[in-house]
Amino acid sequence: MVQDHLAFPFTPQEHATMVVIASSLGLMPFTIGSVGILPAMEFLTNESENGPFRLDWVQLFVWSIGVSILGVAVTLPLRKRFLVQEPLPFPFGTSSAAMIGSLHRDTDIADRILRAQNHLDSTNDKQKPSLVEDSVDTDDSMVQHGWSQNNKLILITFLFAALYSLTAYFIPQIRTVNIFGNYIAREWLFSLSTSPGYVSIGLIVPPVTTLWIVVGCLIGWGILSPLSKFNGWAPGSVSDWESGSRGWIMWIAVALILGDTAITLSTMLLRSFNVYVPKLLGLTTYLKRHLQSDNEEDTQPLIRI
pLDDT of residue 302: 47
| DSSP secondary structure, 199-245, as one string | HHHHHHS-HHHHHHHHHHHIIIIIIIHHHHHHTTSS-S-TT-TTTSH
Using the 8-state DSSP alphabet, how is residue 195 labeled? -
More confident residue, 171 or 278: 171
pLDDT of residue 238: 86
Contact 167, 147 (CB under 8 A): no
- Lowest-confidence pick of 43-52, 179-188, 192-201, 257-266: 43-52
- Say which amino acid occupies 99: M
pLDDT of residue 6: 64
pLDDT of residue 219: 92
Using the 8-state DSSP alphabet, how is residue 129 labeled? P
pLDDT of residue 235: 87
pLDDT-above-70 percentage for the chain: 64
Handedness of CA 292, 293, 296, 298 (dihedral sign): negative
- Lowest-confidence pick of 6-10, 159-163, 193-197: 6-10
pTM of structure: 0.54
144 pLDDT above the threshold of 60: no
pLDDT-above-90 percentage for the chain: 3
**Mean pLDDT value of segment 165-184:** 86
pLDDT of residue 215: 92
